[in-house]
Amino acid sequence: MRNIDFDPFWRTSIGFDRLFSMMDDSLRFEPEDRYPPYDIVRTGEDNYRVTLAIAGFTPDQIGVTQHQNVLTIVGRPSEKNAKSEYLYHGIAGRAFERRFNLADYVEVESASFENGLLHINLVRHVPEAMKPRRIEVGLTKTAAEGESVKTIDHVKAA
């Protein structure tokens, strides 16, 4: 069930280009590189944390950038380890680039590296104009002053 036609949505929707492109890209069959492994955790109503397991890297070998709505994490191992003669090489310390699509108003708050784990904290800052607001319902001037309202009775014709 990977052949979904998004053409009707493209023809009748305006402003949803990014959403339909992401859905279309996710349905294309491409072997996915699962390195490095990662977790995405919701830590609050508008807070998230992405944690990548990048054993063998140092903070200066890691690059974290956010451009528009894409978070990119790049790891480049140093060349000095490549000259070593390994009898067994089980720690995957290869170069990587991992991208995450971010929703609108989600920004990187901080990034830290500890015990081989890279933690990236994200927060969603929704502008006040976009948040729902409560509107008080007041009384009209006549109802507030207690004035009586005229009623017109309907009289049936004979």
Structure tokens at 52: 């990548």
Q: Let me know whether 51 and 106 are in one domain.
A: yes
Q: What is the DSSP string of the chain?
A: ------HHHHHH-SS-HHHHHHHHHHHS--PPP--S-EEEEE-SSSEEEEEEE-TT--GGGEEEEEETTEEEEEE---GGGGGS--S---S----EEEEEE--TTEEEEEEEEETTEEEEEEEE---GGGS---------HHHHHTPPPP-PPP----
Q: Let me know whether 52 and 88 are in one domain.
A: yes
pTM score of the predicted model: 0.65
pLDDT per residue over 79-99, tens digit each?
Answer: 765 567 878 877 777 889 999
| Domain of residue 3, residue span | 1-30
pLDDT at 130: 76
Number of domains in the chain: 2
Q: Let me know whether 77 and 21 are in one domain.
A: no
- Residue at 14 is within a domain: yes
pLDDT per residue over 120-154, tens digit each?
Answer: 999 998 888 877 888 888 887 765 565 666 666 76
